[in-house]
């Protein structure tokens, strides 16, 4: 039994990644069987035709769309659109997988990374499942298997976040500033708050009274919800860097039980969603250009944390993940696949009872 799928925000960067991921996963075990696909966006994009599986599909105006007959809706059109439209899709019978921050901390909305807590997606009283922030996903996919082995007590994280995470116009600004600076011309930031060409700066989100910006706070709060453990202490410093695509994170953890670098490497090599890239002899470790375009989180620089307190168990690592794919589109598609499997199982069980 196939799924009637809709993508809201189909013409954006994550919308394009949705189509890319869905097409790549066609035919794989557990992939969505799509009976119909509808693409929705703002009125200014209506009529634009996007390619999917060799066909051209016209984009519909969300404001005028008939919401009936949709099984799963993938949202990536911003928090305001999600807050306004997700309840309408649910009322029309769809399960919503939302990529914005609108519902992440709602206690009645599961926040899901399928490698960690897929079963949480079954309990969705509001009909909505939230996709975590990209930096949170890239942190937790490799952290969770280590947590399961040795229980993580704390994590200190420094992120190096690609410009495409701020949108297509920010990426264009990076490229134009780089050209201008190489040719000796002055630059004036228009999209990002500071010069990004040959520069980096603290993540461009609002800073709270505690000194942490929104991105850093999201990582702490979302991690606690996903792991169902408020006791884990997480401190993040998030930085925007002049890289096209894929975020990196330097992570130092303290664990309750001893965990050697060798054992950590074994665990990570067997963990779902992770690829170990850790070759000291060749100085080859995770890099954003190698993480770009794939769904695995690359992990390397696995070593003891020499700053850990005496008697404490400390470990450091460096990771890189594509924030448009595993950090957004792929994670949401994996959630949708879980929902579709659950739906098939329920339908099959019902048919068997009859």
Domain at 304, CATH number:
3.30.360.10
Question: Are 116 and 244 found together in one domain?
Answer: no
Question: Are 22 and 124 found together in one domain?
Answer: yes
Question: Are 143 and 289 found together in one domain?
Answer: yes
Question: Are 310 and 335 found together in one domain?
Answer: no
Tell me, yes or no, whether 71 lies in a domain.
Answer: yes
Tell me, yes or no, whether 304 lies in a domain.
Answer: yes
DSSP H/E element including 349: helix 330-353
Q: What is the mean pLDDT of the chain?
A: 95
Judged by DSSP in three states, 145 sits in helix
The catalytic site residues sit at 134, 247
Determine the number of helices (DSSP H) and then strands (DSSP E) in the chain: 9, 14
- Rounded to an integer, what distance in angstroms lies between the CA atom of residue 87 and that of residue 97? 12
Tell me, yes or no, whether 123 lies in a domain.
Answer: yes
349 has pLDDT over 80: no
Question: Are 216 and 245 found together in one domain?
Answer: yes
Residue written as tokens 């098939």?
A: 344
Tell me, yes or no, whether 73 lies in a domain.
Answer: yes
Question: Are 155 and 62 found together in one domain?
Answer: no
Question: Are 346 and 221 found together in one domain?
Answer: no
**Structure confidence by residue, pLDDT tens digits, 193-250:** 999 999 999 998 999 999 999 999 999 999 999 999 999 999 999 999 999 999 999 9
The whole-number pLDDT of residue 353 equals 57
29 has pLDDT over 90: no
The three-point CA angle 160-213-210 to 5° equals 135
Q: Is 178 exposed, middle or buried (0-12, 13-18, 19+ CB in 10 A)?
A: middle
**Structure confidence by residue, pLDDT tens digits, 270-283:** 999 999 999 999 99
164 has pLDDT over 70: yes
Question: Are 104 and 27 found together in one domain?
Answer: yes
CATH number of the domain that residue 347 is part of: 3.40.50.720
Contact at 8 Å (CB) between 140 and 116?
yes
Tell me, yes or no, whether 85 lies in a domain.
Answer: yes
Tokens matching residue 298: 């690359």
The whole-number pLDDT of residue 344 equals 83
The whole-number pLDDT of residue 80 equals 96
Question: Are 211 and 66 found together in one domain?
Answer: no
Domain around 269: 136-162+200-323
Tokens matching residue 64: 């005028």
- CA 279 → CA 160, 282, 316, distances in Å? 21, 6, 15
- Rounded to an integer, what distance in angstroms lies between the CA atom of residue 163 and that of residue 21? 21
Contact at 8 Å (CB) between 177 and 195?
yes
Structural domain tally of the chain? 2
Question: Are 102 and 150 found together in one domain?
Answer: no
**Structure confidence by residue, pLDDT tens digits, 71-83:** 999 999 999 999 9
> Residue 140 — very low, low, confident or very high, per pLDDT cuts 50/70/90?
very high
Question: Are 10 and 110 found together in one domain?
Answer: yes
The whole-number pLDDT of residue 280 equals 95
CB count in 10 Å sphere of residue 349:
9
- Residue 40, strand partner residues: 8, 60
Tell me, yes or no, whether 252 lies in a domain.
Answer: yes
The whole-number pLDDT of residue 30 equals 85
Tell me, yes or no, whether 276 lies in a domain.
Answer: yes
Question: Are 93 and 143 found together in one domain?
Answer: no
| Predicted TM-score of the model (pTM) | 0.94
Tell me, yes or no, whether 193 lies in a domain.
Answer: no
């Amino acid at each position: 039994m196939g799924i009637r799928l809709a993508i809201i925000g189909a013409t954006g960067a994550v919308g394009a990644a949705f189509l890319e991921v869905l097409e790549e996963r066609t035919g794989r075990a557990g992939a969505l069987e799509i009976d119909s696909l509808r693409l929705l966006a703002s009125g200014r994009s209506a009529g634009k035709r996007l390619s999917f599986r060799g066909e051209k599909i016209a984009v519909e105006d969300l404001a005028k769309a008939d919401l009936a007959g949709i099984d799963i809706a993938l949202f990536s059109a911003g928090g305001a659109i999600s807050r306004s439209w997700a309840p309408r899709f649910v009322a029309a019978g769809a399960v919503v997988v939302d990529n914005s921050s609108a519902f992440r901390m709602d206690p009645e909305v599961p926040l899901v990374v399928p490698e960690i807590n897929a079963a949480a997606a079954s309990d969705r009283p509001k009909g909505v499942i939230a996709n975590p922030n990209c930096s949170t996903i890239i942190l937790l996919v490799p952290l969770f298997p280590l947590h399961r082995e040795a229980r993580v007590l704390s994590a200190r994280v420094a992120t190096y976040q690609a410009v495409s995470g701020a949108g297509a116009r920010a990426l264009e600004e990076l490229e134009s500033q780089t050209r201008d600076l190489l040719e000796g011309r002055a630059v004036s930031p228009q999209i990002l708050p500071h010069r990004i060409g040959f520069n980096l700066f603290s993540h461009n989100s609002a800073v709270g009274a505690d000194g942490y910006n929104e991105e850093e706070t999201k990582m702490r709060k979302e991690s606690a919800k996903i792991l169902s453990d408020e006791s884990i202490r997480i401190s993040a410093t998030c930085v925007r860097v002049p890289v096209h695509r894929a975020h990196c994170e330097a992570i130092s953890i303290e664990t309750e039980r001893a965990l050697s670098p060798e054992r950590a490497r074994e665990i990570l090599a067997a963990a779902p969603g992770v690829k170990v890239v850790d070759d000291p002899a060749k100085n080859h470790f995770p890099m954003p250009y190698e993480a770009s375009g794939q769904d695995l989180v690359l992990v390397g620089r696995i070593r003891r944390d020499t700053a850990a307190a005496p008697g404490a168990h400390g470990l450091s690592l460096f990771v890189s993940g594509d924030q448009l794919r595993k950090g957004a589109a792929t994670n949401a598609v994996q959630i949708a696949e879980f929902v579709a499997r659950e739906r098939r199982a329920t339908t099959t069980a019902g048919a068997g009872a009859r």
